[in-house]
Amino acid sequence: MDKNLELLKKNNPSIEIKEETEHINLEHLWTDDTFMLRYDKGTDFVDLIDIELPNELCAIFHKTSQTLELIYAPLFEKQTHLNRKTNFYYKGIEFKTEFKEPSPQLVFIAKGFKELDVPGESNHRNIRQFRDYYRDDQQTSQMKVYFEDKKPFSYFITGDFKKIKNEFIPFCKHLNIYIRFFDRKSPIISIVNIEPKIEDYKVPCKTNDGMYPETIATNEIDQVALDLLSIANDTGNARLKYLFHYQVLEYFAYYYLDEELKRKFSNLLKSPDILHNYSNYSKIIIEELKDYTNNTSDKQKLTKLISDYLTVDDVQDEIKCNLKYFSNDIEFDGHFKLSALINDDKIFDKIYSGAKETKEKKKEKDRLKQELINSIADRIERIRNVLVHIRESRENKVIYPTRNNNRKLLPYLYLVRRMSEIIAMKYNV
């Protein structure tokens, strides 16, 4: 192998070097499979020996000069922010930032660029436009018009990165916050979402094992719940999705009155002398509501709502689909822990046993169903508390806003989503 390519691979172990008859291909740069670099055999790779490619950035790190080069774009020079030179202090260390022409290393990479797949979130690390700019002999007439009066730019950050242990992502997140603090329209550093390698959860769906219905009977959904469900569907972030779906349950639980209280009010309102003695009846209603409010916590209201409007049948697909997940204790980044929702992997066999049902067996099945519903209510409420307040007061633990936690949250998101949809469809305020 070319000695310069050996040094490149030493600095970037994920890179795969493949030799063909006439070409050398460099693949899996930045751990990205959407493109590769292709060069003629005999190419001198000396420009690449001193660089690292940070996986979560569209950037090149020049080790010797301690410079992080953010790959930007060919742009009109008159844009105001391109003239900015800023000294940025992070953890007491000075970093100099400025826009200028790309390094020889980026030019070399751009000239070898070849797409393999659609851009994805990484957008081919912004290299494609540079490739098209530097290969002027292959530009179409439209491309020539597009690049006319434009120059390529990178955003350079120079400082002693060794002192911050090359922690590029926290550094760039800080820089983004301060850049936008002073200029709301300023471009910020793109951070690529690298999904953690954890278990891939299945998405529960009504049509996984069944046919899509030919006829659907709809009920009018309360407007507030309808808007919450709609925005939950439009939101990409798992934490926000969870909270919007939980708010549907919270909204209905707030207005929910149990059946006994409803019956009492209904009987009072049917009293023939209610108009004559409205003052007396008002006092009775106020006393009933006061007792109900004082003796019923938000969690109790939520549990009662779920118990009255949901059955195990409604959510069993959500649980069975990721049974392994729900059968184990879950610990999030931040040390917040949830004990296993299912302690008996045969619970559904017991609940839906086809054996002849005695009174005792029916009583046992009802107990198992209620325990499961109560456990679900407990866990979705605890997750909500930590997401909203960051710190769960009873355990002093947190769910950090990390991508790993977003993934771990998915099975409970699927569960609370189904619950909010069903209750919204059934509930009449």
Show Cβ contacts of residue 163 under 8 Å, excluding neighbours closer than 6 positions: 91, 93
- What phi and psi values does residue 190 have, to the nearest 5 degrees? -80, 125
DSSP type of residue 168: H
Identify the pLDDT of residue 22: 94
What b/e sequence results for 364-402 when a residue is b if at least 16 CB atoms lie within 10 Å of its CB, and e otherwise? ebeebbeebbebbbbbbbbbbbbbeeeebeeeeebbeee
Q: With beta carbons less than 8 A apart as the criterion, state whether 153 and 71 touch.
A: no
Identify the pLDDT of residue 387: 92
Question: What are the extents of the domains in the chain?
Answer: 3-182, 223-426
Show Cβ contacts of residue 312 under 8 Å, excluding neighbours closer than 6 positions: 351, 369, 372, 373
Distance CA 254, CA 299 (A): 10
| Structure tokens that stand for 92 in this block | 């007491």
Structural Rg of the chain based on CA atoms: 30
Q: What is the pTM of this model?
A: 0.73
Distance CA 230, CA 353 (A): 38
Identify the pLDDT of residue 414: 96
Q: Provide block-wise average pLDDT over 10 residues at a time, the chain (429 residues).
A: 92 95 96 95 95 96 98 93 94 96 97 93 93 91 92 97 94 95 92 71 83 87 95 92 96 78 76 80 76 71 91 93 94 92 87 77 88 95 89 70 90 96 86
Distance CA 53, CA 74 (A): 21
Identify the pLDDT of residue 422: 95
Question: Considering all CA atoms of the chain, what is the largest pairwise distance in Å, rounded to the nearest integer?
Answer: 102
| Structure tokens that stand for 111 in this block | 């000239």
